[in-house]
Amino acid sequence: MTSMPHAPPAATMTKGLAMLFAFCCGAIVANIYYAQPIIGLIAPDIGLSSTLASLIVSLTQIGYALGLFFLVPLGDLLENRRLMMVTTAVAILSLLGAAFAQTPNLFLLASLLVGFSSVAVQILIPLAAHLAPEETRGRVVGSIMGGLLLGILLARPASSLIADHFGWRAVFGTAAVMMLLISAVLATTIPKYQPTHKASYGQLLKSLWGLLLKQPALRQRAFYQACMFASFSLFWTAVPLELARNHGLSQSQIALFALVGAIGAIAAPMAGRLADAGHSRIASLGAMLFAAISFLPSLIQPAYAVIGMAISGVILDFCVQMNMVVGQRAVYALDAKSRSRLNALYMTSIFIGGATGSIIASPLYDHGGWIWIVLAGSAFPLLALLVFLKAWASESRSFQHL
């Protein structure tokens, strides 16, 4: 499998195109999160136990991680727009499958495929990095990541509201219609990009291991963000259960709660500017530190507990987004010809972390209540912070010996 060299036009990323990329990213990535606040409605309807309910979320994220590993590297090999069109078509079919599934196995398979086919977003982001000039690349990626995080955060309130008024199946039917519109937008507005890289698919996948071994910065950044995203997924999988069971909130009220979390999306453009200005290390330090203590407000009892949880959600979302964009800026700078593969490795690691957080959310909450969620959610970014500080100290010692 080979491709004819054809370089992209230089610096063709306009503000309008960046906004379009951001919108498409948000709409596509939302597919992974629609089920998160309504697993309490889906599980009994399809015959899934409450302890296994979080499998719905984790399988979607595992599917996304598989798509990142096996599909996104093709962005360095195949024409990007066509690749995005194919994955979006599979997403439409998968969402329709979820909408009409009557058994746990069929729904879980559809969930896996929804995640697997929603990786077009991770082909769009490296394409934006290719089209943006070096001096504004962090800002462009940050703006698009802001759209992506808004998609993640707005998916939950939209899902809760639709499910409250029309039932949970309508959520996936609406998402399928949205993907149909997005595929029309992709077909008519996204510029074509044919990579110059030449290799077979097998060689492409094999090269992933080489990139991982060769780039310590990639390994570090992937680990930091995997820990951050584990905490993020743990929080947003468990908090709807806590709000419904112990605070009596309806799906519509949970939707409003999730909407507050969308404030964290403002971190993306800020992070991009900090990275462009050379302040990546300080931005990451702050993000990990505040993420580690972000769960503390959620322990406020009893009258203001919901407000405390909302504050925790906003702080955590802000920190996760800040560290995500700074990490991407650093990873994309490693090797321009390998951006899709670097992004695949970075994002696969992150969503493995996210799937871990989702998988443990229901069992932790069922056995230890909210306090166990707080302890586990704080431990993940704290671990990332300790590894980050150790790497920073090691680099400082090396610099002194020069």
366 is written with which tokens? 């069922």
304 is written with which tokens? 């203001």
Contact 161, 252 (CB under 8 A): yes
10 Å Cβ neighbour count for 383?
Answer: 18
Calpha distance 402→400 (Å, rounded): 6
Contact residues for 376 (Cβ-Cβ < 8 A; gap 6+): 234, 360, 364
- Pick from 260, 267, 297: which is nearest to 284 by CA? 267
pLDDT at position 281 is 86
pTM of the model: 0.77
The gap from C-alpha 320 to its chain's centroid, in whole angstroms, comes to 10
Calpha distance 260→319 (Å, rounded): 15
Contact residues for 286 (Cβ-Cβ < 8 A; gap 6+): 319, 322
pLDDT at position 11 is 42
Collect the ranges in the chain with pLDDT lower than 50. 1-11
pLDDT at position 46 is 93
Domain segments of the chain as ranges = 15-393
pLDDT at position 5 is 43
The gap from C-alpha 379 to its chain's centroid, in whole angstroms, comes to 20
Contact 257, 249 (CB under 8 A): yes
pLDDT at position 400 is 56
Q: What is the pLDDT of residues 48-75, one digit of tens each?
A: 887 788 788 889 988 988 998 888 888 8
Q: What is the pLDDT of residues 347-387, one digit of tens each?
A: 888 888 988 998 899 889 999 999 999 999 999 999 999 99
- Pick from 155, 131, 161, 386: which is nearest to 253 by CA? 161
10 Å Cβ neighbour count for 72?
Answer: 27
What fold does the segment set 15-393 form as a domain? Growth Hormone; Chain: A; (1.20.1250)
29 is written with which tokens? 């990535």
